[in-house]
Structures are given as structure tokens and as C-alpha cells.
Amino acid sequence: MSRQRFIALIVAAALAISGALYLSAQRNLQRGTHGTALVPALAGELDTVTALSVRRGSAAPTVTMHEKDGRWTVAERGDYPADVAKVRKLLLALIDAKVVEEKTSNPANFPVIGVEDPSSPTATGAEISVTARDGKHAVIIGKPVGGGNFARLSGDNLSYSIEPGISVETEPRFWIDSRLLDVALGGIRSIEVKPAAGPAYTVHRMAAASTNSGAAAPANSAAAGASPAASKSDDNFALDGVPPGRKAADSVQLAPSPTAFSGLTADDVTRVGDIDFSKATVATVTLSDGNAITMTGATVGDKHWVQLKASKDAALDAKTAGRAFDIAGYRFDAIFRPLEQLLVPKETPATKKGSAPTAAGDSSRHPAASPAPSPTKKPVPAPTS
């Protein structure tokens, strides 16, 4: 064997051994990380967490939830109460996240899987930072993969695929405590509406009529054009403020929607001063316990904003004071109903022409003409003997 061939064999053997050792080390490394917690220290610090922030495409957090005066609030919404259940859900998702396998450690490949620097304007991933007693834990959650996401610990060049998946919202409005009102239809005594333009009106609950009394509606209700006397149901409503020459709709149409004030939620919140309420409609809902909730509403662009104030609900006042809330358009329309919706529609000229009695007769006054008798043959006289 020549010397050159011998040296080539030695080099090839060394390379093969080195490759085998590298692959073995990589397999051992994968086995060592698979199934481990992405943020192992966080599990023991859950009850000491005091702040959680999220950022994407920004050097500063786009939303921050933190403890203030004994409650969780959203800093970007003037420290309005946060949805604590959502905060806890995200924290538990971080604790539950387990490494499936290691991925790239090359920063040039980070944008491909969404774990690039979150301060980049084009970043697709979101960084979640958690402040606890033992310090700050920051994780970048990237694009979905399999049943989870790509992820990278902030400040670390090694990325992973993790499971289960983590979903995170970066807009403050998704983190507010959205609950506003929960008033059942049965608790409403009256609703007074003062539109920005046009006459005011009041819809009020009528007392249930006695089954044997045969009592008629109060004279003043009839004069005002209110709906007829209530039946046995407690959900009969009458209308005050009917314009002259018009009639109120029936009680079913006058009654508020059962869901108008039940489970009312906010899509967003801001300072009252940020919204133009100079041309607002005001609805005052008086409840059976005497509490009166005043709702001031204004539409700005495609948003529907309301203010709330209660006469006998200190907790609601404390939560809503100085704030305006964006609610769903269909809920806004159900609360601030225009008067025209509560009236019998005006008769059009065509309707009047079709309904007026004619000279030939009105079906309500003259019975329909009987059909002409069919011609019959004259009877043939019986033959005589």
C-alpha cells in the first residue's frame, strides 16, 4: 500500500468517526430537550407574577397587563380592569408549553419561522414578557407548526418547535374586562329615550290586567296613543309620546329586545374626552328596584360609543366613570330605538285607495254578490188523460 493511500484512509476514517460522534451528540441533545418545559422556572412563580406584556413590530410593548391597587388592569386603556381569566390562560399556556425538538440557531432563518426580533416592523411573531418574583421571563412565539408553534427564548439563538400551541393577542382591546351590563327584561320598568334630534318618548311596563276585572286602559294612555290595555302577561309595554295623528305599535313591538341589556359587553374602551358626544342620544333605563341607568350614545364612523351612569350602583359607576365604551352596532340599535320603529306605519296613498269603501260597496259592509243562478229548463207539464 502506498504512503499516500494510507494517509487518505486515515483521513477518511477520522472524518467518519467525527461525523458519527457529532450525530450521536445531536441525538443525545434532542433526547435531552424533548418534552422539557419551554420556561421551566415559571411554574413555581405563577402566583408571584405582577405583569405581563406583549409586543410585535415595536420596541415597546403594544399591550401591558399589570397589578395596580390590588387588581389587574390594562395600561394602554387607562388602567381599565383587565380580563383576569385571559391573563391566567396565557400564563398557563406558557407553563404547559413543552419542547418537541430543536430548530435553527441561525438568525438569518428566524423570519422564516416567525421568531425574529419582535421590534422589527415586519415581525410576524410576538414576544411575551412575564415579570415575576424571580425576574423577567421573555419568549418569542412564532408561526404555527404541527400542533404547536415555533418559539425562541429572548436573547437565545436556539429556536424550538413546541406544543401545545400558544395564541396571543397584541391589541389592548382584547384584554379588557368586557362585561358592562346584565339586566333581564323582567327587571325593566321603563325606558325613556331622548334623541339628538326629534321628540322624546317613553316605553313603560303596564301592570298585568286582572283576568276577571275587564278593566280598560287608563284614559290618559289612550289619549296619548299608547298601546291597548295589558293582558295577563307582565311583559306588556305602552308608549308615551305618540305624535298627533299616529298610533303606537302593539305591545310585542314596544317591548325591548330580551337581549338589549342582557349580557352587554364592550369591544373597546377609551376616555370620554376622546369621543364627540355633542350630538348624542340618551336612554334612561329605570329598573324595578328603582335604580336608573343612563346610557349616552353616539356613532363615530363605524364605531358605536356609550357612556354609562347608575343612580344606585356604585360598583358600575366606579368602573365606568370617565370612560366611553364601543359596543356592537346591533346592540346599540336595540338600545336607542328611533320613535318611528314604535309606531304603526303611515298609510301610503295606495294603501288608502285600496282600503277605502267604494260606491259599489265595501266587503265589510256589503256581502259579496251571489253568483247568478245557472239557467234551468221550464218544467214540462204532466200529460193529461
- Based on the fold, state whether residues 267 and 319 are members of the same structural domain: yes
Judged on CB neighbours under 10 Å (0-12, 13-18, 19+), 22 is exposed
Q: 278-300 b/e with 16+ CB inside 10 Å = b?
A: eebbbbbbbbeeebbbebbbbee
In a domain, 12, yes or no: no
Domain that holds residue 66: 40-175
Asked if residue 35 is part of any domain, the answer here is: no
Q: Are 129 and 52 in contact (CB under 8 A)?
A: yes
If DSSP states are collapsed to H, E and C, what string results for 144-179? EECCEEEEEECCCCCEEEEECCCCCCCCHHHHECCE
Residues 189 and 166 in one domain: no
9 belongs to a structural domain: no
Answer yes or no: do 187 and 335 share one domain.
Answer: yes
The answer to whether residue 377 is domain-embedded is no
The one-letter amino acid at 4 = Q
Q: Please state the domain count of the chain.
A: 2
Q: 62-78, pLDDT tens digit by residue? A: 999 999 999 999 999 99
pLDDT at 233: 53
The answer to whether residues 148 and 162 touch, using CB atoms and an 8 Å cutoff, is: yes
Q: Specify the residue for cell string 350602583.
A: 313
Reported pTM: 0.75
In this prediction, residue 353 carries a pLDDT of 56
Q: How many Å apart are CA 165 and CA 143, to the nearest integer?
A: 10
pLDDT for 110: 97
Domain identity same for 100 and 190: no
| 198 and 337 inside one domain | yes
**Within a domain: 98:** yes
In terms of domains, do 130 and 190 share one?
no
- Banded pLDDT at 350 (limits 50, 70, 90): low
pLDDT at 143 over 70: yes
Secondary structure (3-state) at 143: strand
Q: Give domain status of residue 94, yes or no.
A: yes
Residue that finishes a domain, picked among 121, 144, 175: 175
pLDDT classification of 16: cutoffs 50, 70, 90: low
Indicate if 222 and 98 belong to the same structural domain. no
Q: Which residue has the higher pLDDT, 324 or 355?
A: 324
Look over the chain and give the mean of its residue pLDDT values, rounded to a whole number: 84
pLDDT at 367: 43
